[in-house]
Amino acid sequence: MKWGVIVFPGSNCDRDCAHVLADVLDQDVNLIWHGDSSLGELDAVVLPGGFSYGDYLRTGAIAQLSPIMHAVQEFTRTGGLVLGICNGFQILLEAGLLPGAMLPNVGLSFICEDVRVKVENADTPFTRHYESGQVIRLPIAHAEGNYHTDPVTQAALQANAQIVFRYCRTDGTVTEQANPNGSLDNIAGIRNAAGNVLGLMPHPERCAEALLDNEDGQLLFRSMIDSVMSRQAEKPAAS
């Protein structure tokens, strides 16, 4: 299938995502410059991690104004799969494609380490290869991952099963102690109401190869591949 990875000025994980998709999962990948106005023919889009525009003003605040974001909005409306990782998640929030906002980590410092994450909803195009309640290990690397939203939105996220990943302990219990950044309700990742946009702070592309001692993140990309493939299989072939 065809993937697009958006390159904003200051994106750092664009090449990492492309490596995992192309070299590990044998996918067709385009790096798409933020100044372009069209995505071309794609099955899925990744907004990678990094420090778009140096995180100046607010994380993701300037990147969401890039020309390519109009195309991403349109792609979303037509049901295309959009994955935002770390800074990509922050951009999706700023662009209004996902609800809520990010605050600085409670400890006020950058945190880079592996955390345990519970898959709260395995019935999404991004998580179908996981099991609900499964505890996986993913790396985080951010200074602003403290997800926040208002009580009404929070209730809606809960009611619509939009909370996809929560920080947890090894045994799967969701506790304050297991929360690395102070995020509301231990939220590590959410999807939109329509279900085709996922944003998460942890980096699945950093743990998708045996040499890196952890392959837990690979299943997220495999889930997306199988979702697109099965959707294409359902559609009659274009004539």
Partner 1 sequence: MGQVSTHITPEVIQRHGLAEEEYGQILKHLGREPNMTELGIFSVMWSEHCSYKSSRVHLKRFPTEGERVVQGPGENAGAVDIGDGLSAVFKMESHNHPSFIEPFQGAATGVGGILRDIFTMGARPIALLDSLRFGELDLPKNRHLLKGVVSGISWYGNCIGVPTVGGEITFNDIYAKNPLVNVFCLGIVKTDELLLGRAGGVGNPVLYIGAKTGRDGIHGATMASDSFDDASEQKRPNVQVGDPFLEKLLLEACLEFLDQRLLVGIQDMGAAGLTSSSCEMASRAGTGIELELADVPRREPDMTPYELMLSESQERMLLVADAGKEEQVIAICRKWGIDAAVIGKVTDDGFVRIKEQGTVVAEIPAKALVDESPKYERPAKPPEYQDILQSLTIENLPDVQDAEDVLLRLLDSPTIASKAWVYRQYDHMVGIDTVVRPGSDAAVVRIKGTNKALAVTTDGNSRYCLLNPYVGGTLTVAEAARNLVCSGAQPIGVTDCLNFGNPERQDIMWQFVLAVEGIADACRTFGIPVVSGNVSLYNETNGLSIYPTPIIGMVGLIEPADRMLTQWFKKPGDRVILLGDTQEDLGGTEYLKVVHYREQGAPPWLNLETEKILHACMLRLAAEGLVQSAHDCSDGGLAVTLAESCFASQTARGKPLGATIRLDANDLRTDALLFGESPSRILLSASLEYVERVMAIAREHEVPAQEIGTVGEDRLTISVNEQPAIDMPIAALFEQWSQSLESKLSA
Residue 205 annotated to the active site: yes
DSSP state, residue 213: T
* Residue showing tokens 């709260």: 120
Q: No. of H helices and E strands in the chain?
A: 5, 11
Q: Tell which one of 216, 219, 221, 227 touches partner 1 (CB under 8 A).
A: 216
> What ranges make up the beta strands (E) of 58-134?
81-85, 101-103, 111-119
Residue 60 sits in the site that holds partner 1 (CB under 8 A): no
Residue 203 annotated to the active site: yes
Stretch that binds partner 1, among 48-56, 117-125, 159-167, 190-198 (CB under 8 A): 48-56
Interstrand relation of 197-200 and 135-142 (parallel, antiparallel or unpaired): unpaired
Asked whether 130 and 119 are in contact (CB, 8 A), the reply is yes
Q: Tell which one of 109, 170, 177, 239 touches partner 1 (CB under 8 A).
A: 109
Please give the angle made by the CA atoms of 11, 86 and 120, to the nearest 5 degrees. Answer: 155
Residue 67 sits in the site that holds partner 1 (CB under 8 A): no
Asked whether 202 and 189 are in contact (CB, 8 A), the reply is yes
DSSP state, residue 49: -
Stretch that binds partner 1, among 158-166, 169-177, 211-219, 227-235 (CB under 8 A): 211-219
Which residues, 149 to 178, sit near partner 1 by CB under 8 A? none
Q: For residues 152 and 165, give the distance between their C-alpha atoms in angstroms, rounded to a whole number.
A: 19
Considering the complex, what minimum distance in angstroms separates the CB of residue 4 from partner 1? 18
Asked whether 188 and 196 are in contact (CB, 8 A), the reply is no
Other CB atoms within 10 A of residue 24 CB: 15
Residue nearer to partner 1 on the CB measure, 15 or 148: 15
Residue 50 sits in the site that holds partner 1 (CB under 8 A): yes
Residue 137 sits in the site that holds partner 1 (CB under 8 A): yes
Residue 120 annotated to the active site: no
Annotated catalytic residue, options 94, 120, 144, 205: 205
Classified as helix, coil or strand, 192 is: coil
Stretch that binds partner 1, among 104-112, 118-126, 183-191, 230-238 (CB under 8 A): 104-112
Stretch that binds partner 1, among 11-19, 70-78, 152-160, 220-228 (CB under 8 A): 11-19
Considering the complex, what minimum distance in angstroms separates the CB of residue 151 from partner 1? 32
Residue 206 sits in the site that holds partner 1 (CB under 8 A): yes
DSSP-assigned beta bridge partners for residue 44: 3, 81
Other CB atoms within 10 A of residue 40 CB: 10
Q: Which residues are part of the catalytic machinery?
A: 86, 203, 205
Residue ranges that bind partner 1, judged by CB under 8 A: 9-10, 12-13, 15-16, 19-20, 23, 33, 35, 49-51, 53-56, 109-114, 137, 139, 141, 143, 203, 205-207, 209, 211-214, 216
